[in-house]
Chains A and B, each alone.
Chain A
Amino acid sequence: MTPFKLEIYTPDRLFFDGETENLIVRTTVGDKGILARHEDYVAALPIGKLKVKIDGNFKIAAISEGTIKVSRDKTVILTQSCEWAEEIDVERAKAAKAKAEERMKQAENDEKAYLLAEYKLKRAINRIETWDLK
Chain B
Amino acid sequence: MKAIKRRIKSVGSTMQITKAMELVSSSKLRKAKEKAEAGRPYFEKLYEMMTEIAESKKDFDSPFTEKREAENRLFIVIAGDRGLAGGFNSNVLKMALAEAEEGKNKPKIIAIGKKSIEFFAKRGFELVGEYPLLAETAKTADCADIATLAIEMFKRGETDQVKIFYTTFVSPLVQNPISMDILPIYKEDVEEENNTLITYDPSPEAVFNRIVPKFTMSLIYCALSDSYASEQSARRNAMENATDNAEKMTEELSLKYNRARQEKITNEINEIVSGANALQ
What total of chain B residues lie within 8 Å of the partner, measured CB to CB?
28
Contact (Cβ within 8 A) A67 B49: yes
Q: In which size bucket is the chain A interface? A: 20 to 34
- Residues on the A chain within 8 Å of B196, using CB: 40
Contact (Cβ within 8 A) A42 B207: yes
Is B137 an interface residue when CB atoms closer than 8 A count as contact? no
> Per-residue CB proximity of B44-63 to A under 8 Å, as 1/0?
01100100010000000000
Is A106 an interface residue when CB atoms closer than 8 A count as contact? no
- Residues on the B chain within 8 Å of A44, using CB: 201, 206-207, 210-211
Known contacts A39-B199, A43-B201; is A12 also within 8 Å of B35 by CB? yes
Give bound CA distance, A11 to B35, whole Å: 10
Give bound CA distance, A52 to B206, whole Å: 26
- Residues on the A chain within 8 Å of B53, using CB: 42
Known contacts A12-B38, A65-B214, A67-B49; is A80 also within 8 Å of B199 by CB? no
Q: Closest residue of chain A to B204, judged by CB?
A: A42
Q: Which of B144, B199, B202, B214 contacts A40 (CB 8 A)?
A: B199
Minimum CB–CB distance for A56 against chain B, Å = 28
Known contacts A41-B198, A42-B199, A43-B200; is A78 also within 8 Å of B45 by CB? yes
Q: Closest residue of chain B to A77, judged by CB?
A: B45
Contact (Cβ within 8 A) A43 B207: yes
Contact (Cβ within 8 A) A11 B201: no
Give bound CA distance, A32 to B201, whole Å: 11
- Residues on the A chain within 8 Å of B35, using CB: 12
Known contacts A11-B39, A11-B42, A43-B200; is A80 also within 8 Å of B207 by CB? no
Minimum CB–CB distance for B211 against chain A, Å = 6
- Residues on the A chain within 8 Å of B49, using CB: 42, 67, 69, 76, 78
- Residues on the B chain within 8 Å of A81, using CB: 140
Contact (Cβ within 8 A) B38 A40: no
Is A27 an interface residue when CB atoms closer than 8 A count as contact? yes
